[in-house]
A and B are shown apart, each in its own frame.
Chain A
Amino acid sequence: MRSLPDGLSDAPKVQATDNPSLSDEADALRRDLIEALYASGGGHYGGSLSVIDALLVLYRRILRVAPAVPRHPDRDRFILSKGHAAIALYAVLRRVGFFTDPLSGYAQAGSRLEGHPDMTVLPGVDFSTGSLGQGLAVGLGMAMALRDADRHVWVVLGDGECQEGQVWETAMLASRCRVGNLHAVIDVNGFQECAWPAPHPPGTPPVDDLAQRWESFGWRVWNVDGHDYRRLCRVFAAATTVSACPTAVLARSRKGKGFPLIEADPLRFHCTTVTDEEHAVLLGSLR
């Protein structure tokens, strides 16, 4: 873990008390996520499971945050621009200590765990999201405001979200402004809610040639296995050393990672409820 800034030195560090391996912790998070969605009436299984490993690595190894002081002015910032994966963020934020609200309250009236992340109610959410395409620009504004303070801003987008025009407006402006403390992580799981119909061939990705597109907008780009903790750590750390331009990490992931039932049918499990039998199958897939 990178050193904490002076202002955060008194805050509890983001380390699990029993210091489990990231792999073990990810298994526990996947159980949390599956049980929360089952208990609360379903949700975005596929895209939450594809991104949760990257979120875990960021919060355990990269972000300088203090769960006991969620609004600490010297913290790094994080935005889940693909806000429909909120349950994955909530599972991580809860595990690292931002709150203790039960995940089973997800998207229920009276719970702070809104269907999409809401900064006005939940500690640890640095900005509200839900309408796709906006988070990267918010992150750019944060990065501009915090550039002189050596704070980093991380924004996680979906590959389908990269169809939004605002993403590319922002990509252009961030590059022109040479905002080196802005880091995009694109969860490239290869699917969006609906498949592209004929004449597009089966398996047509949401956006072709993502690396070339980001590079052409002036971003430094890495490709990495979105479920390889060691490589994610290494790439994220490398991104923070770049100062001349914004950086994009294309985290190649599997929609529904860890659950063969979901991986085999990513379109159905984009956002869904599951039967009791399917839930049992999912639990049986856990290590």
Chain B
Amino acid sequence: MTLRLGDHCGLELARLGEHDGRIWVLDGDLGDSNGAARFAERHPERFVMAGIAEQTMVSVAAGMAGCGRRPWVFSFAAFLCCRAYDQIRVCLSQANQPVTLVGSHSGGCASRNGRSHAALNDLSLMTSLPNMTVWAPADPADVRLAVGSILREDRPAYVRLPRRTVDALPGSPARCRWLTDPAPVALLGTGLGTHFAVAAAAELTRRAQPVGVLHCPHVVPLPHAELTTLLGDVEHLFTVEDHYPAGGLGSLLQDAHVTPQLTAIGWPAHWTGQSGDDEDLLTAHRLDPHSLADRVLAALADPPPSRPSSQRQPV
């Protein structure tokens, strides 16, 4: 059975928890779906079933962090980020408490659950909060990298995970890396969006338009130095994400001024989510491999005006 990334996160925390008693896990009654149960099975004494009470769950974790613990709070991204946003703002961001939020079932692929369970702007909410580190892992190795990195820091963090299971990406995990050989036209993804990008790149290759694929699971702080180096020869970059382009990776890259041509692709700004199979939803909103290839080719044929070179800011 293939595990979700939430399960991998729970398992990694359970493994590290064998030797790190600071690690606690709290769950909002979704532990069987979001991976928290993996920790609870191994460390019931440091697991808190907080009930369907996301606001209190986040604040409780903040209190634990204030006493030297390293709590990890699991729920669906939509409920964790939106229901408890004021608690995250005040108790985690402003108070700078090292609580990690693990939001599973993020993005637009909400399956039969539909729009109330979709999280289409969670990156926007979390990346705009001071002190917050944000990761969007795309495979189990990314999850392990993120968990280890977060535990070495002393600040709040958000880990954005998809509902669906994913294949391992090629190469070794890093904050940002090429998954292919570098190329002048490149797709840059984070989280599940990287898998969209990989599929689109295969389709573009079939259409004789070679593109490279980059993956950036470390969303905030954006790894500027690595990106500047990795994107050195890229002429046109497409960000592909399981999120609205506004406020997500696309916006962050635009603000970073690290590439001359940038096209940001994500779920349509007017779309609020809906029930349905992932592939049907992706096709309906032009995020399937064929549609993405069409969009890339169209943009290459009619590129937006280049940003003046003076706006490219060295980091």
Residue A5 at the chain B interface, CB threshold 8 Å: no
Q: Say yes or no: is A119 at the interface (Cβ < 8 Å to chain B).
A: yes
- Our pick among A126, A131, A176 for the contact of B90 (Cβ within 8 Å) is A131
Q: Chain A residues near B91: list those with CB within 8 A.
A: 127-128, 134, 138
Segment of B54-62, B193-201, B236-244 engaged in the interface with chain A: B54-62
Across the interface, A126 reaches (CB within 8 A) one of B51, B66, B87, namely B66
The residue on B at minimum CB distance from A131 is B90
* Residue in A165, A173, A176 whose CB lies within 8 Å of B60: A173
Report the contact-size class of chain A (Cβ under 8 Å from the partner). 20 to 34
Interface readout for A122-146 with B: 1 if CB under 8 Å, 0 if not? Answer: 0000111111011001111111111
B53 in the interface (beta carbon within 8 A): yes
Given the known A-B contacts A137-B56, A172-B51, are A127 and B68 also in contact in the complex, defined by CB atoms under 8 Å? no
A218 to B104, CA, bound (A): 33
- Tell me if B59 and A170 are in contact (CB < 8 A): yes
Q: In the complex the two chains form, what is the Cα distance from A142 to B71 in whole Å? A: 12
Contact B87 A142 (CB under 8 A): no
In the complex the two chains form, is B55's CB within 8 Å of A144's CB? no
Q: How far is the CA of A170 from the CA of B48 in the complex (A)?
A: 13
Expressed in whole angstroms, the Cα–Cα distance for A76 and B71 within the complex equals: 20
Evaluate contact between A173 and B51: CB separation under 8 angstroms.
yes
Asked whether any CB of chain B lies closer than 8 Å to the CB of A169, the reply is yes
Q: Mark A208-223, 1 if CB is under 8 A from B, else 0.
A: 0000000000000000
Q: Which residues does chain A contribute within 8 Å of B53, judged by CB atoms? A: 169-170, 172-173
Q: Is the CB of B69 within 8 A of A145?
A: yes
B50 at the interface (CB under 8 A from A): yes
**In the complex, which of the residues B61, B89, B90, B94 has the most CB atoms of chain A within 10 Å of its own CB atom?**
B90
Across the interface, B56 reaches (CB within 8 A) one of A119, A129, A173, namely A173
Which residue of chain B is the closest to A130 with respect to CB atoms?
B90
By DSSP majority rule, is chain B's interface helix, strand, loop, or mixed?
helix
CB under 8 Å from chain B, chain A span 208-265? none
In whole angstroms, how far apart are the Cα atoms of A73 and B89 in the complex?
25
Chain A nearest CB from B73 CB (Å) reads 11
Which residues does chain B contribute within 8 Å of A169, judged by CB atoms?
A: 51, 53, 55-56
Residues of A within 8 A of B48 (CB): 144, 177
Q: Does A120 contact B (CB under 8 A)?
A: yes
Q: Is A166 an interface position by the 8 A CB rule?
A: yes
Interface membership of chain B positions 87-105, coded 1 if the CB is closer than 8 angstroms to chain A and 0 otherwise: 1011100111000000000
Interface contact A166-B55, CB-CB below 8 Å:
yes
How far is the CB of A257 from the nearest CB of chain B, in Å? 29
- Using Cβ atoms and an 8 Å threshold, which residues of chain B touch A131? 86, 89-90
Q: A134-B90, A138-B91, A170-B60 are in contact. List 11 more A-B contacts (CB 8 A).
A: A73-B68, A120-B95, A127-B66, A141-B61, A144-B60, A144-B64, A145-B69, A146-B67, A166-B56, A170-B53, A170-B56
Interface residues of B (CB under 8 A from A): 24, 48, 50-51, 53, 55-56, 58-69, 71, 86-87, 89-91, 94-96
Closest 10 CB pairs of A and B: A141-B63, A137-B59, A141-B60, A145-B67, A138-B63, A169-B53, A142-B63, A169-B56, A141-B64, A137-B56
